[in-house]
Structure 1
Amino acid sequence: MSDLLIETLTCEYREHCLGTDVRRPRFSWITQSARRGVIQSAYRIQLTAGHDFEAPLWDTGQVISSNSVHIEYAGPELQPRTAYQFRVQVWDNNGIESDWSAPGQLETALYSSNAWQAKWITPDTSRIEADAHPAFLLRREFGLRSSSPVVSARVYSTAAGLYELYINGSKVSADLLTPGWTSYHHRQQYQTYDVTYLLHQDANAIGVMLGDGWYRGGLGFEGRNYMYGENRAVLIQLHIRHEDGTESVVISDADWRCCLAPILYSNIYHGETYDARLEQSGWMNPAFDDTQWVEAEQLDLSYDHLVAQENVPTRVTEVVKPIQYLLTPAGDHVLDMGQNMVGRIRLQVKAPAGTQIELRHAEVLDRDGNIYFGNLRPARQTVTYITKGEGTEAYAPYFTFQGFRYVKVEGFPGSEQGLPLDAFQGEVIHSDMASTGDFACSDERINQLQSNIRWGQRGNFVDVPTDCPQRDERLGWTGDAQVFIGTALFNYHGGPFFTKWLRDVKAEQHLDGGIPFVVPDIIGGASSAAWGDAAVICPWTIYQFYGDLRLLAEQYDSMKRWVDYIRVQGDNEFLWNTGFHFGDWLGLDAKENSYKGATPEDLIATAFYAHSTRLVRDTASILGNEEDARQYGELLENIVQSYRDEYMTPTGRVGVPTQTAHVLTLMFDLAEPLLQQRVAADLNDLIIQNDYHLTTGFVGTPYLCFALSGNGYHSTAVRLLMQDSYPGWLYSVSKGATTIWEHWDSIKEDGSFWSDDMNSFNHYSYGAVGEWMIRNIAGLDMVAPGFREVRIEPLFGANLLTHASAWHQTPYGKLESGWHVRGKEMEVSVSLPVNTTGRIILHGAKLDSLQEGGKAVAGREGITSAKETSSGVELIAGSGSYTFIYEYGDLFAESYTEKTRLNELLMDPHAREVVERHAPQLLTGATHNIVRTPSFREIRENGMFQMSPDILDAILEELSANPSSKENVEM
């Protein structure tokens, strides 16, 4: 057996791809090896219809390539509703051949709107009103047309509304809130389910429960109903194949029977009311008497916008038990779940028929210890269950979810003596994304912050990236999504999640190129800077994390149209100084009674204009569109120059003295390269002058620590992170937060609350700092898209932390980076997946004393290059696990001091001229963004600090001879 193993196969991001409309699906795999420095040299893929690989439908043969991610199918056209298997074999750089992998699964869906035989149906509107509050039940019995055993049964289903599907009494899957929320007029998902083993040889029954959901329930700030249509409806098509080759189809049509459900009311914001006395036992089973039910009615709804499921399904992913029962000062009976979560409560109760139990959900207690509902605004978040009085009953809501930590319980039997904790459990609900990363360090407050970031993401990734999961909003705000996407993708696998959402962004884009504030768009309003830029930033970030060139190409036209939209605004095509913008939303330097920070909206708008233009230019180049790359490159040069003329002084100062203005200038390469360090120094001064506190809002905060660490002020960034007084990331932690707050002081020092009108305690935007923690403190970063080449460069904890670590499941496997201060020694651990290489930078190390695995670095397996630089040791390594140890001492404090002095040196005009003459490449701007492309990081973060000693000596010698610069170089 080969020690080169194929561990994981995926097709279109999924390990079991059941039901896809992708005509040319892509295959990826992860390889394992116990040896170091392993690179794939060749691969072979086979695909077959059925189980026999002896005569495959597609066989690539041995392909000489190191590519193992997103290999596109190139065989004969795949057929709809067909199951395929595929397998992979690889060879490595040592000539070792792997065994064939275990087969992967791929099954196509319907492919075409013409394949739908089923009809959209709803209860007869003359018998049951379309706008009836209760949910609907729909059912159909059927028999099998052949006595031959069933070999395959697939149901293709969707709804105008939310649905749950049952066959012979069993729910067909664990999925919730299907078909999800999309821009229904443009695109609607349908699901594919394998129901082979649910069918009976004799009689069978299909049952559907149908609620309003996002489709027609009250949404938005005005709670308007019928956003997408007035009628709930389902579409069901069941294909059954028998061993003898016969096939039959069961469809939704006018022969179905319908009635009202025990769900008397259900709404995303307000909750659900369920009367168990109205249950009809066995309604989803065969032989049920439905003669009193009404006929179904066919609706003329479109099929053209139906697409096979793209996103991962929403499911219960964790069960949380309440940690305590509280009797509040107001006399309320309250459950404390111990965690601000999103989902539902499942209760068990034994009570007389007609007992009404009410659950009201909230996030926090007020300073008096009473449950606080004020920040919910009109959202009721109330679930009511009415018992049927038959033994122990269990219930959890079907078509709603709540954001909560605390639950006020009324009407539960015996609650006068307290609530029995074992009668309740919290079910955490979100899009079922795989966990792909985490961060930990020596400070438990920061670990709690990281936990809060992850819980905030889970709670707000319920089929769309929402802003909050508790009040009357829960909308797909574009600005929130783009500032958080980097952190989101480190934490959880977001490929399918964002693929689906970005297609809605593109579908909702206005004819003039503008981008709505929220997607799906139910509130109107569009084209704010930093919000609309999600159309560019998000596809680019997906490409960086997963190497997904297809999605980047698919979104390219939308990306261009957004930049082109900006260009025609106002009377200057190189500045964006017109229109409505949210600005630095909730910036702490805002004027009184304003939500917008002090940084001018036009500065922010022009900065993001430059950023998006740069990304469009780079995308054009990646896609091979050199003419576009040239045109957008010229546009970028003009925007940047206009920004400098408008917002910066000739000596390199930003004309607006706000933290956010400086952050954006640095992050988007808007300053003259020779003057960038002045901007960084000024930003650092603004932080220090504010006693190491931030004043940034939604726009500046995600980039703040990146701007500091990337320009020699990492210790300031770490101090900011560890600030536990207001405003700071750890302030909310000190107040007991278990998710990220919308405001830095959602709960004030005296225990009072920020205004009720906008005070979510689960709002992920400020959690964007998680990406910086992983990239800079733990030092885990990408160089090539998909983490094919990585950079491990811990900047450590500025003597405020003693250890930190991070891991991320890349498309190639698990990547890890960690460090630990042990006395005077630094230990750095690195693990690189097979088929990747890493550039490892160990600040403060000396090559002659650096050890790996207890031995000198020279000659160690997997390490192909090792050199000493002015700031430490730089290594190039192949796959494998490495442990480096070297003397720590006070080197890091000194290195930061030296870096700061050299930054100051560059502010001297003569110094800049000398540096430019000796090492001009160090002063050249380069493309970058929040994902941090390698060329930029090499120049800006290391730059002259990694130049060869002889060049550095030459620069310092020449500068020392100049009286005007002598002070600056005496160190």
Structure 2
Amino acid sequence: MELQVVRLKCEYKSNPLGLDVRAPRFGWHIEARRRNTNQSAYRIQVSKEDPDFSTLAWDTGAVQSDRSVHVAYEGAELEPRTRYYYRVRVWDDQGIGSEWSAPAYWETGLMDPSAWTAEWISASRQTAENEEDKSPEQPADYVRTTFTPARKVRSARLYATALGLYTAYVNGRRVSDDLFTPGWTSYNKRLQYQTYDVTGLLAEGDNVVGAALADGWYKGNLAWKGARNLYGDRRALLMQLHVKYEDGTEQVWSTDRSWRVSSAGPIRMAELYHGEQYDATMEMTGWNAPGYDVTRWEPAEALDLPKEHLIAQENDPTRVVEDIQPIALIRTPKGETVIDMGQNLVGWVRFTIHADAGRRIVLEHAEVLDKEGNFYTANLRSAKQRIEYICKGGGAETYEPHFTFQGFRYVKVEGWNGEPDLSCFTARVIHTDMERTGSFECSDPLINQLQHNILWGQKGNFLDIPTDCPQRDERLGWTGDAQVFIRTAAFNMNVASFFTKWLRDLKADQQADGAVPHVIPDALPPEHTHSSAAWGDAAVICPWTVYLCYGDTRILEEQYDSMKAWVEYMRRQGDNEYLRNTGFHYGDWLGLDAKEGSYRGATPNDYIATAFYAYSTELLAKTAEIIGHTDDAEQYRLLYRRIVEAFNREFVTPAGRLAAPTQTAYVLALMFGLVEGDVKRRVAGTLAAMVRQNKDRLTTGFVGTPYLCHALSQNGYHETAVKLVLQKEYPSWLYSVLKGATTMWEHWDGIKPDGSFWSTAMNSYNHYAYGSIGDWMYQVLAGLDTDRETPGYKHLQIRPQTGEGFEWVRATLNTMYGTAASGWSKQPDGRLSVEITVPPNTTASVELPQALLADVQESGRELAAAEGILSREQAEGHVRLSLGSGTYTFAYPIVG
């Protein structure tokens, strides 16, 4: 077809169930044959419970607009627990119309906390006096009830949540493949519920709905001081099953005192850090199906707990996303039996065994082996990462955990009968099931491995929240880590819903004076300090980045008060309102120029704090302008200018030297626009000289590293940035690659050249912060970026920069409009080939490096004869083009 509409999305999702958004937003992709295709108009129709669209809840008519993302619903008020179908057709700029798209749908959730008629229920054993119940690690609870539909069922929906983690079942079958529900939020302020379509699980006659419950983040061990019960000391379950009959009537079954509870099942312990103990001899076969004898089960206890903070699930669910087979069985020098999965990952191990009843199998998990080749777990600190399984006997039995996850590459096996067969083991990779959007590859296999490690660092740490690490007794949503990596993350995967949910928790946990906790959700003790520069700034940087990458203004509107509160908090901290020179700060965390014994780099705290104060204020001013707060916009533009002036008085000499002679200090001055003119040129030159004098090595930590190569490439020192990225000696990105890393490390020298370790106190081998170099690889090396004034890749900026040591580079990104791509390759005849894809309904500004206008051809044609090229001109050192949609191949002899 000449023109068609595909990939319909509602709130970033395909056919979502249980949305509580009262004005959901739609988006779609356009497929077109010709280049330079733009949408000139669209029409959306929405029907209630009617896939044939014979009656409409909303019909926009033909709307003259090129907008194809974030089109908000403006029809009749949405009703709860209702399916709405929608379809879209468009017209292009030549008046050609598409057919209607295939229908898509979304389904509303309960829409209002008052719709919950169910009672919170819990096992009463927590108050018992036996010794087992006094243990901090308790067995899972099993909860169930029986119900009988009155007549033929048309549809059934289960709405469920828990204080703790739950897995729901109907008639012995899991209701979904979602894991770790209800997810981790600031539980006492925001608790998600999930919606499941269980129509196909119901049967005539008696039916059973049930759930297994464990502690999870709600009351399990969190953080490194052994803390428990952070949000409460009782697990609880809340469920409502709504059944609609063919005759239009409805019946509801809800959790109450009539439900039955047992803790006598096989999951004897389940902790996120410590693992799971499973006794298969205690399995209650059929406990969640009709006909099971529950006479020994206890009645549930109803708890008087609030429901006002219940919200529908906001981000994508956590799932098993892929399976990995082991690559080797190792017998270590100590005689340990260890399985090598070949990849540091997050998830768990599924195994199958034939053994006698009572045999105890123990799996322990580790990221690395020590320099002698032995199993190493000291870097886990108190986290046990231990799975203990007691066999039931009688044939093959297969097990995988339920309410825990591990960060590991290596698995030590104890108790196996004989030598384990690798075919009996599978590593199951678990993370939030986000759409994979970006790809990057190049001619250098080490850089390709680096990109692999960046992606797997994101997989391992984006499990419901953006954690710092997934293995030791931490796994917290550190704000600093999140803000330095978010732009890279948004290339690799669609993280819009993921960060929207997390930022709402940041807003909920933000203190009344605007202070921002170090981790979100805030799981640290009340006496823990907060609001470090570059950490608290996540309140501004993260929503701004979501806006840049997805064109989402709603997140700016939602988070504006939080963003403003953070800037005002900083404004009150210094000796005057233009400098931030008080308070606790992590500084340039893990910077290599730190004093002996310190984790903080040499860049002064007040320098970093004032620089980020300026940056967040500038972003706040832009946000205010975008969402229509014009008075605020002018106020914060003025504040930003005053901060920059104060910064220059405090930290910059008249001759253009900075008060802090560190790479990070020079990087921040350049990236945050704190210097200009001759001073900027001198600062850039000095930064490049620092790097060269350090033998093309960095000294930056968490604060400076994300911006280092950007600062060099943007200011005329791109080749220096390239040398940094290709550096193989410590400290460098490729050092860990050459040490066999398959994820990003927390420390540049997590494993030292002699094979020894940096530390046992804080040495994660899956820590994504330094993976922020990916942003430079995608934006600068491949040249694929969005225009800041027209965000969300509606207008692309494509400016690839070649570099000595690379023969070719290519990046693709599935944007909100479709696939964008930029790549280049050096040809044997000295020509450069540049391939570019611009999605329909978007345009691109392109700079072809080292090109003369007269020499450039597109697909073998002169530029004047090529369709889709809207303008062309010669600029200094490059050719500048404006392109409509389409795929283009440019070729020309390299000059300069």
TM-score tier (shorter): over 0.9
Residue correspondence of structure 1 range 780-795 to structure 2 within 5 A: 780-783=784-787, 784-795=790-801
Question: 8 Å contact 1:143–1:204 — kept in the other structure?
Answer: yes
* The one of 863, 873, 882 aligned to 1:867: 873
Question: 8 Å contact 2:142–2:211 — kept in the other structure?
Answer: yes
1:383 and 2:391 correspond: no
Question: 8 Å contact 1:803–1:821 — kept in the other structure?
Answer: yes
Could you list the per-position Cα deviations for residues 891-913 of structure 1 after superposition, in whole angstroms to 9, with x for gaps in the alignment? Answer: 3xx4xxxxxxxxxxxxxxxxxxx
- Mapped to 1, the partners of 2:762 and 2:22 lie a distance apart of 45
Residue correspondence of structure 1 range 625-636 to structure 2 within 5 A: 625-636=629-640
Q: Flag structure 2 segments of 5+ consecutive residues without an equivalent.
A: none
- Mapped to 2, the partners of 1:525 and 1:343 lie a distance apart of 32
- Mapped to 1, the partners of 2:853 and 2:563 lie a distance apart of 46
Displacement, 1:458?
0.4
Question: 8 Å contact 1:539–1:551 — kept in the other structure?
Answer: yes
Question: 8 Å contact 2:137–2:270 — kept in the other structure?
Answer: no
Residue correspondence of structure 1 range 127-166 to structure 2 within 5 A: 129=133, 133-146=138-151, 149-166=152-169
SS state at 2:692 partner: helix
For 1:870, the aligned partner's letter is: E
Residue correspondence of structure 1 range 900-939 to structure 2 within 5 A: none
Residue correspondence of structure 1 range 373-772 to structure 2 within 5 A: 373-415=377-419, 419-523=420-524, 524-772=528-776
Could you list the per-position Cα deviations for residues 108-163 of structure 1 after superposition, in whole angstroms to 9, with x for gaps in the alignment? Answer: 000111100111101124569596610000110110022xx211100000000000
Aligned to 1:192: 195
Aligned to 1:204: 207
Question: 8 Å contact 2:529–2:584 — kept in the other structure?
Answer: no
For 2:90, the aligned partner's letter is: V
Question: 8 Å contact 1:652–1:672 — kept in the other structure?
Answer: no
Displacement, 1:743?
0.3
Aligned to 1:217: 220
1:847 and 2:853 correspond: yes
- Mapped to 1, the partners of 2:883 and 2:811 lie a distance apart of 18
SS state at 2:54 partner: coil
Displacement, 1:651?
1.6
Aligned to 1:804: 809
Question: 8 Å contact 1:175–1:313 — kept in the other structure?
Answer: yes
- Mapped to 2, the partners of 1:12 and 1:638 lie a distance apart of 39
1:293 and 2:297 correspond: yes
Could you list the per-position Cα deviations for residues 221-241 of structure 1 after superposition, in whole angstroms to 9, with x for gaps in the alignment? Answer: 212110100000110100000
Question: 8 Å contact 1:30–1:68 — kept in the other structure?
Answer: yes
1:234 and 2:237 correspond: yes
The ranges of structure 1 where at least 4 consecutive aligned residues each deviate by more than 3 angstroms after the TM superposition are 125-132
User: Which is further off, 656-665 or 850-859?
Assistant: 850-859
Could you list the per-position Cα deviations for residues 460-505 of structure 1 after superposition, in whole angstroms to 9, with x for gaps in the alignment? Answer: 0000000000000000000000000000000001011000000000
Aligned to 2:77: 77
1:247 and 2:275 correspond: no
Aligned to 1:37: 36
Aligned to 1:902: none
Displacement, 1:859?
2.8
For 1:684, the aligned partner's letter is: A
Aligned to 2:88: 88
- Mapped to 2, the partners of 1:174 and 1:886 lie a distance apart of 52
- Mapped to 2, the partners of 1:289 and 1:182 lie a distance apart of 36
SS state at 1:786 partner: coil
For 1:83, the aligned partner's letter is: R
For 1:297, the aligned partner's letter is: E
Residue correspondence of structure 1 range 31-70 to structure 2 within 5 A: 31-50=30-49, 51-70=51-70
- Mapped to 2, the partners of 1:711 and 1:152 lie a distance apart of 61
1:274 and 2:283 correspond: no
- Mapped to 1, the partners of 2:677 and 2:167 lie a distance apart of 58
* The one of 337, 343, 359 aligned to 1:339: 343
SS state at 1:838 partner: strand
- Mapped to 1, the partners of 2:677 and 2:579 lie a distance apart of 20
Aligned to 2:19: 20
- Mapped to 2, the partners of 1:840 and 1:569 lie a distance apart of 43
Question: 8 Å contact 2:449–2:737 — kept in the other structure?
Answer: yes
1:819 and 2:842 correspond: no
- Mapped to 1, the partners of 2:137 and 2:640 lie a distance apart of 55
Could you list the per-position Cα deviations for residues 63-92 of structure 1 after superposition, in whole angstroms to 9, with x for gaps in the alignment? Answer: 000000000000110000000100000000
- Mapped to 1, the partners of 2:601 and 2:853 lie a distance apart of 48
- Mapped to 2, the partners of 1:673 and 1:195 lie a distance apart of 65
SS state at 2:855 partner: coil
- Mapped to 2, the partners of 1:485 and 1:166 lie a distance apart of 36
- Mapped to 1, the partners of 2:302 and 2:220 lie a distance apart of 21
- Mapped to 2, the partners of 1:637 and 1:92 lie a distance apart of 44
- Mapped to 2, the partners of 1:722 and 1:882 lie a distance apart of 29
- Mapped to 1, the partners of 2:272 and 2:764 lie a distance apart of 17
TM-score where L is the length of structure 1: 0.90
Residue correspondence of structure 1 range 319-358 to structure 2 within 5 A: 319-358=323-362
- Mapped to 2, the partners of 1:7 and 1:796 lie a distance apart of 35
SS state at 1:757 partner: coil
TM-score where L is the length of structure 2: 0.98
Question: 8 Å contact 1:322–1:336 — kept in the other structure?
Answer: yes
88 and 233 in structure 1: CA distance in 2 versus 1, 3 angstrom threshold: same
SS state at 2:471 partner: coil
Displacement, 1:868?
1.1
Q: CA RMSD in A?
A: 0.9
Question: 8 Å contact 2:38–2:840 — kept in the other structure?
Answer: yes
Could you list the per-position Cα deviations for residues 501-536 of structure 1 after superposition, in whole angstroms to 9, with x for gaps in the alignment? Answer: 000000000011000000011114310000000000
Count of aligned pairs:
883
Larger Rg: 1
- Mapped to 2, the partners of 1:390 and 1:382 lie a distance apart of 25
For 1:818, the aligned partner's letter is: G
Residue correspondence of structure 1 range 860-899 to structure 2 within 5 A: 860-888=866-894, 891=895, 894=896
Could you list the per-position Cα deviations for residues 244-300 of structure 1 after superposition, in whole angstroms to 9, with x for gaps in the alignment? Answer: 111100111100111112111111111000000000111010111100111100011
Could you list the per-position Cα deviations for residues 178-216 of structure 1 after superposition, in whole angstroms to 9, with x for gaps in the alignment? Answer: 000100011010000000000001110012000000000
Could you list the per-position Cα deviations for residues 297-335 of structure 1 after superposition, in whole angstroms to 9, with x for gaps in the alignment? Answer: 001111011100001000000100000000000000000
Displacement, 1:833?
0.4
SS state at 1:557 partner: helix
For 1:200, the aligned partner's letter is: A
Aligned to 1:837: 843
Displacement, 1:844?
1.4
Question: 8 Å contact 1:134–1:263 — kept in the other structure?
Answer: yes
- Mapped to 2, the partners of 1:34 and 1:653 lie a distance apart of 55
Aligned to 1:912: none
Question: 8 Å contact 1:329–1:369 — kept in the other structure?
Answer: yes
- Mapped to 1, the partners of 2:642 and 2:377 lie a distance apart of 51
Displacement, 1:674?
3.6
- Mapped to 2, the partners of 1:794 and 1:475 lie a distance apart of 36
Question: 8 Å contact 1:451–1:739 — kept in the other structure?
Answer: yes
Displacement, 1:390?
2.4
Could you list the per-position Cα deviations for residues 723-743 of structure 1 after superposition, in whole angstroms to 9, with x for gaps in the alignment? Answer: 010000000001000000000
- Mapped to 1, the partners of 2:674 and 2:874 lie a distance apart of 32
Displacement, 1:52?
2.9
Displacement, 1:377?
0.4
SS state at 1:336 partner: strand
**Quick one: percent identity of the two aligned structures?**
55
Displacement, 1:414?
1.1
Displacement, 1:336?
0.0
